[in-house]
């Protein structure tokens, strides 16, 4: 057997033998590589076929009949109830995105307090950032995420914003726990807080002020209604084969719908 690590003159018989041996080994290595490549290719092909079949099953099983409803708000109602039954910790939790005149977006989580044909309502103090944004630019986007429903569902809502009536705001404020009512008076929302003690002192002052009587609604604390113009329902699925339905409303209240690529 040749010692292939020994350097020899390339013109000698030893060199020719070494080259021949190296070539044979290289050929054997290539054959092994081709065999491995063929095996890998076969495995990849089998995997791809399996994935394709699984994808077909996934799409068949994930067909969303609720997304085929003609009315976007009826679709929301059905999925909202499904989220509640599925045990979502709080299906009313939603992100609210706003932007002021400076066009800088801002987003935060709030709770949906009412929804009907007129829109989606949450409550806030108009002197906070979202209140200021919406007074300057009365348009907002909402996002619900319900990961426990099916393979996960997102609902995106865009529309103009209006203030609810005083009667609506008064009725909701009156239904809140007294501690929450007092907190609405004590908080100067989004302003700088010098220390936690300062907030405690303000709260104590408010408690003394309203001791023994009902707490009225602060004038700058009210409800905001997002009137939906576009609602998208996103249904999660394996292999990023998500299902997206976009509903767009017109001035008559009718909805048109179309699918979007995921």
Residues of each annotated binding site for substrate:
113, 172, 176, 180, 240-242
Contacts of 235 (CB under 8 A, 6+ apart): 62, 64, 67, 150, 151, 152, 153, 242, 243, 244
Binding-site entries: 108-113, 123-124, 129-130, 154, 172, 176, 180, 189-190, 234, 240-242, 244
Binding-site entries for FMN: 108-113, 123-124, 129-130, 154, 189-190, 234, 244
150 is catalytic: no
Beta partners for residue 97, in sequence order? 107, 141
User: How far from chain centre, in Å, is Cα 161?
Assistant: 21
d(CA 120, CA 228): 8
Catalytic residue among 11, 213, 240, 258: 240
d(CA 219, CA 161): 18
Instruction: Judge whether 230 and 244 are in contact, CB under 8 Å.
Output: no
Helix (H, G, I), strand (E, B) or coil at 252: coil
Contacts of 4 (CB under 8 A, 6+ apart): 18, 21, 22, 25
Question: Which residues carry out catalysis?
Answer: 240
């Amino acid at each position: 057997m040749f010692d292939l690590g020994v350097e020899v003159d390339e013109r000698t018989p030893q060199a020719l033998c070494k080259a021949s041996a190296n070539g044979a080994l290289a050929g054997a290595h290539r054959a092994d590589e081709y065999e491995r490549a063929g095996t890998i290719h076969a495995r990849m092909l089998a995997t791809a076929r399996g994935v394709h079949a699984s994808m077909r099953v996934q799409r068949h099983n994930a067909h969303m009949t609720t997304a085929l409803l003609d009315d976007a708000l009826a679709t929301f109602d059905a999925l909202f109830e499904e989220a509640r039954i599925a045990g979502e910790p709080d299906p009313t939790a939603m992100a609210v995105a706003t932007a002021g005149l400076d066009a800088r977006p801002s987003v935060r989580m709030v709770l949906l307090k009412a929804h009907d044909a007129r829109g989606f309502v949450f409550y806030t103090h108009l002197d906070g950032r979202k209140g200021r944004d919406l007074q300057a630019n009365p348009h907002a986007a909402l996002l619900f995420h319900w990961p426990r429903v099916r393979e996960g569902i997102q609902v995106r809502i865009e529309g103009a914003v209006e203030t609810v009536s005083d009667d609506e705001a008064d009725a909701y404020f009156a239904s809140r726990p007294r501690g929450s009512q007092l907190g609405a008076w004590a908080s100067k929302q989004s302003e700088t807080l010098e220390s936690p003690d300062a907030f405690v002192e303000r709260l104590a002052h408010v408690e003394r002020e309203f001791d023994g009587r009902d707490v009225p609604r602060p004038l700058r604390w009210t409800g905001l209604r997002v009137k939906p113009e576009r609602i998208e329902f996103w249904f999660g699925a394996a292999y990023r084969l998500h299902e997206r339905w976009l509903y767009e409303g017109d001035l008559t209240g009718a909805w048109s719908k179309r699918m979007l690529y995921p």
